Amino acid sequence: MSLVSRFLRYVSFATASSTQTGAVPSTEGQLLFARALADELRAIGLSEVELDRNGYLMATLPANSAAALPVIGFIAHLDTSPDASGENVQPRVVTNYDGADIVLNAEENIVLSVTDFPELTNYVGQDIVVANGKTLLGADDKAGIAEIVSAMEYFIAHPEIVHGKIRIAFTPDEEIGQGAAHFDVEKFAADWAYTVDGGAIGELEYENFNAAEATVRIKGRNIHPGYAKGKMINSLLVANRFIAQLPAAETPENTDGREGFFHLTEMNGTVEETVLQIIIRDHGSERFEQRKQLLRDIAKRIGDSIISVEIRDQYRNMREKIEPVMYIVELAEQAMREVGVEPLVKPIRGGTDGAQLSFKGLPCPNIFAGGHNFHGRYEFVPVQSMQKAMEVIIRIVENNAQID
């Protein structure tokens, strides 16, 4: 099966995860996809194909080398984001893209515009996969899955290529932050791994945000407004005072690169009580702790008798776990250059399964899968970027066989 046809088949599975079900995996569609993948992995000749009750699928390509080579893993996630519909995805391949706007849905005038998405011009002359403007595409991360499976199929078809043992895994619920929650690192038994879950061609990431979520509860006092003087505490107005004391320029829409931020994601309340949900992000651990402390300090200044701040750490920057084994990043950089891709090493402005896995003992940088505009109707992936991602996987494995 070709890489493209494999990807087009995969996006037909509706696999959006959900924060509402409390199940693992969070949606049945992910299990249906995982079962189909398990059958495919067995059919192409992989061994030790195991799908556990939590929806984690693992498999092995046995070594064909007499040398004791490191075991490399490749990981991608089964689910798509719940931010946009993943039901009834209708992909289309725009061949030999001419640089013009791409009409996704003429009836509803949904257009992938060069003005809005100028990166399209990087792919003139290539083939671009899009959806029909009503759903996301699912390149995040079914492109990664297709690239990994196609690379394994390539090795099976070319037994003359010497390689060590390769482990692959496909995980559920990455999009809701639970992709590594039940990942059995000991069972996976790789020396290191790569998530194939990055964006544009060349992306290579080994650092990410430190992340936390804060719940700020503000207790008010509701009194009849005609007799409220000196008695009423309007929690909504107190919430406004709290928000106003956050650094105005340190929000997602005002920051990039390694700059951190506070992001107010939800605000619900009445005069009697208001609850704020705020996510905290920073690449530097010291600055990250300062951000958390700032929320506590604001609460104290306004009145900690009426404000409580609960902070839950979500994930940490994997850089501290990758730096001692930087050769695994260098191996990926070398592989990219050898297949004609210029590495774009940059921090992830978000999280990845690889961050949590790195702290579980499996160092795990992130490699591009090739897609753009994840989580929405304007998502697209160039076929040639997917092909290069597959070639990078193959070259990493080949070069690993040369390690002394």
**For position 241, which CATH number holds?**
3.30.70.360
Beta bridge partners of 291: none
Q: Give the range of the structural domain holding residue 36, as residue numbers without chain letter.
A: 3-207+318-400
Q: Are residues 231 and 296 in the same domain?
A: yes
Q: What is the mean pLDDT of the chain?
A: 96
Give the tens place of pLDDT for each residue, 66-96: 889 999 999 999 999 999 999 999 999 999 9
Amino acid 266 reads E
Which of these three, 298, 315, 332, is where a domain ends? Answer: 315
The confidence score (pLDDT) of residue 169 equals: 98
> Residue 57: which residues within 8 A CB-CB, separation 6 or more?
34, 37, 38, 41, 49, 50, 51, 78, 169, 170, 171
Please pick, among 79, 153, 207, 282, the residue that the annotation labels catalytic. 79
Q: Are residues 233 and 255 in the same domain?
A: yes
- The pLDDT-based confidence of 404 (bands split at 50, 70, 90) is low
Return the number of other C-beta atoms located less than 10 Å from residue 382's C-beta. Answer: 24
Q: Are residues 9 and 103 in the same domain?
A: yes
Give the tens place of pLDDT for each residue, 92-144: 999 999 999 999 999 999 999 999 999 999 999 999 999 999 999 999 999 99
Please pick, among 140, 141, 174, 333, the residue that the annotation labels catalytic. 174
Q: Are residues 388 and 272 in the same domain?
A: no
Phi, psi of 315 (to 5 degrees): -160, 165
Number of structural domains in the chain: 2
The question of whether 379 is a catalytic residue gets the answer no
Q: Are residues 17 and 136 in the same domain?
A: yes
Phi, psi of 353 (to 5 degrees): -55, -35
Separation in Å, CA 72 to CA 92, 104, 398, 399, 400: 34, 39, 11, 11, 8
Q: Nearest-5° angle of CA 146, CA 149, CA 21?
A: 65
Q: Are residues 279 and 353 in the same domain?
A: no
Q: Are residues 22 and 143 in the same domain?
A: yes
Return the number of other C-beta atoms located less than 10 Å from residue 207's C-beta. Answer: 19
Q: Are residues 306 and 335 in the same domain?
A: no
The confidence score (pLDDT) of residue 315 equals: 87
Give the tens place of pLDDT for each residue, 254-263: 999 999 999 9
Which of these three, 294, 315, 336, is where a domain ends? Answer: 315
Which of these three, 282, 315, 348, is where a domain ends? Answer: 315
386 in Cβ contact with 146 (< 8 Å): yes
The confidence score (pLDDT) of residue 1 equals: 82
SS3 track for 22-54 = CCCCCCHHHHHHHHHHHHHHHHHCCEEEEECCC
Q: Are residues 122 and 40 in the same domain?
A: yes
Secondary structure (DSSP) of 107-144: TTTEEE-TTT-GGGGGGTTS-EEE--SSS---HHHHHH
Q: Are residues 273 and 324 in the same domain?
A: no
The question of whether 79 is a catalytic residue gets the answer yes
Nearest Cα neighbor of 371 from 200, 202, 205 is 200
pTM of the model: 0.89
Q: Which CATH number covers residue 150?
A: 3.40.630.10
d(CA 188, CA 183): 8
Q: Map residue 162 onto helix, strand or coil.
A: coil
d(CA 24, CA 54): 5
Q: Are residues 324 and 196 in the same domain?
A: yes
Give the tens place of pLDDT for each residue, 184-238: 999 999 999 999 999 999 999 999 999 999 999 999 999 999 999 999 999 999 9
Q: Are residues 110 and 24 in the same domain?
A: yes
